[in-house]
Amino acid sequence: MTKTTVLVGTYNRLELLKRCVESVLQHDRNRYDLVVVDAGSTDGTLEFLESLHGLRVIRDPGRLGQARSLNQAAAMVQSDYLCWISDDNILRPRSLDIARSVLDNDSKIGMVALKVKDVTGEEAHRAYLGRVAESGILNVNQGMLRVPLFKEIRGFDEMLRDYYIDVDITTKVLLHGYDVVYSKAVLIDHYRDHDTANWIDPDARRRRLQQNRSYYLLRYPALIKQNEAYQVSPAAHSRAKRLNRMMKTMPRSLLEFLERNRSCEHDWNNVREAQFISPYDLFLHAWRPYYLRQSIKPELRASAMKAIGQPTLAEAEEHIHFLEERDKQAKAKAKHLRKEAKLQEKIEAKRLRLEQARRKMEEEKGMRREAALKEIVDAKRLRCEKGRWKVEEDAKPREGPNCP
């Protein structure tokens, strides 16, 4: 019987970890192994894990970074499938079975995203997590893939440590010629609003995010350049128009059918923005347990693989300054354009006011001219009337004693 190993990394989040472990252990233990990697917790995590049966605990000497920690754990795995989740995730019933069935039934699919929904926090209003990266790829937050493929792509990029490792592994799976899909059902509940200030400095987190984003941009320049060109191309404009037209002209019965199959507005946005998803994806996969299928054409894969870079952290740091300077220039240009637009609005408003005043003056002048003309006509008519009356009076016969 094929087995799946679930990897969970943790550090000082015992209460969250308890619910996460419980959700994994509720699955069939003959088919699923649980491996928890601890980065040196001091809140009773190890004591809790040692009290449980049916899981394996790996103790790291310290906080090595999520990428390195998971890679070391994955190197010891003997199963056929590998799934990684976070300690603040709770698996819904049968979630691992659903993800496995997708991989079992289609060898072309290399990785399936276990759709994640925020239960608490600022993103709880969203249908699910998942954003389109700068490369045009819809990233996989938590996923399952075959162990041979994980080894083929050399696992997570340890230069990234924690942030952007999900985007990077999604990109690598696609570049190795495999498709990536999303589960249609939400399979993971994510508890985001926990206090991590005790081990994550907000400024350091923001800086690391910037650094890892720069690293990703430098590592896949062909994909980034191609996506930037695509976003302003007629093809992207045509795709957006076609999707908007489809949504407006689609029969209500068909929309209701898609909604019953768990399609939502967030799905349409992902289809619109992600470059490697078919515009007809929601229809093509309406009856399947997965959708949002991504695949990269062989020509682009070949050119992207050749252009893959190996940036250093120093280069990534330098690229941050470049991006910051570019953003600063873009903001200054946008500010200048807004200022110009505002000035143009003022000029246009003044022109309209002058035009309205001119028209009003012309109307008043015309009205005065018309009134004066009417007065002249009335006066002339009155004089004519008086003249006619006088003539009529003079023409009347006079009567009196002296008249013949």
pLDDT digits (tens, 9 = 90+) for 129-154: 988 999 999 999 999 999 999 999 99
Q: How does 326-345 read in b/e, with b if 16+ C-beta sit within 10 Å?
A: eeeeeeeeeeeeeeeeeeee
Amino acid at 167: V
**Phi, psi angles (nearest 5°) of residue 121:** 100, 180
Q: Could you tell me the sign of the dihedral formed by the alpha carbons of 8, 13, 19, 22, in that order?
A: positive
Residue identified by tokens 């898609």 is: 258
Give pLDDT, residue 261.
Answer: 55
Any residues with CB less than 8 A from the CB of 97 and at least 6 apart, and which?
A: 27, 28
Q: How does 182-192 read in b/e, with b if 16+ C-beta sit within 10 Å?
A: bbbbbbbbbbe
- The CA–CA distances, whole Å, from 30 to 25, 84, 150, 280, 379 equal 11, 18, 22, 39, 114
Q: Could you tell me the sign of the dihedral formed by the alpha carbons of 312, 318, 321, 326, in that order?
A: negative
pLDDT higher than 90, residue 165: yes
* Nearest residue to 119 (alpha-carbon basis) of 23, 12, 209: 23
Tell me whether strands 81-86 and 143-146 are parallel, antiparallel or unpaired. Answer: antiparallel
Q: How confident is the model at residue 277 (pLDDT cuts 50, 70, 90)?
A: very high
Q: How confident is the model at residue 197 (pLDDT cuts 50, 70, 90)?
A: very low
d(CA 291, CA 281): 7
Q: Which two tokens stand for residue 337?
A: 């354009």
Give pLDDT, residue 212.
Answer: 86
Give CA angle at 41 (64, 93), nearest 5°: 95
- What average pLDDT score do residues 63-91 get? 92
* Nearest residue to 99 (alpha-carbon basis) of 72, 86, 118, 80: 80
d(CA 84, CA 13): 17
* Nearest residue to 20 (alpha-carbon basis) of 6, 40, 30: 6
Give pLDDT, residue 403.
Answer: 52
Q: How does 10-25 read in b/e, with b if 16+ C-beta sit within 10 Å?
A: bbbbbebbeebbebbb
Q: Which residues pair with 82 in a beta bridge?
A: 5, 145
- What average pLDDT score do residues 253-279 get? 76
DSSP of 84-115: EEETTEEEPTTHHHHHHHHHHH-TTEEEEE--
- What average pLDDT is seen over the chain? 85
* Nearest residue to 147 (alpha-carbon basis) of 81, 67, 195: 81
Q: Where are the domains of the chain?
A: 4-311
Q: How confident is the model at residue 61 (pLDDT cuts 50, 70, 90)?
A: confident
- What average pLDDT score do residues 163-178 get? 94
Please tell me the pTM assigned to this model.
0.76
* Burial class for 308, CB neighbours closer than 10 Å (0-12, 13-18, 19+): middle
Of the CATH numbers 3.30.450.40, 3.90.550.10, 3.40.50.2020, 3.40.50.970, which one belongs to the domain with range 4-311?
A: 3.90.550.10
SS (H, E, C) 347-386: HHHHHHHHHHHHHHHHHHHHHHHHHHHHHHHHHHHHHHHH
d(CA 74, CA 72): 5
pLDDT digits (tens, 9 = 90+) for 328-381: 787 888 888 888 888 888 999 999 999 998 888 888 888 888 888 888 888 888
Q: Which two tokens stand for residue 64?
A: 């090595």
Amino acid at 104: D
- Alpha carbon distance, N-terminus to C-terminus of the chain: 150
DSSP 8-state assignment for residue 137:
P
pLDDT higher than 70, residue 255: no
Residue scoring higher pLDDT (123 or 223): 223
pLDDT higher than 70, residue 194: no
Give pLDDT, residue 373.
Answer: 86
Q: Could you tell me the sign of the dihedral formed by the alpha carbons of 329, 335, 340, 344, in that order?
A: positive
Q: How confident is the model at residue 253 (pLDDT cuts 50, 70, 90)?
A: low
Give pLDDT, residue 1.
Answer: 46
Give pLDDT, residue 168.
Answer: 94
- What average pLDDT score do residues 198-226 get? 82
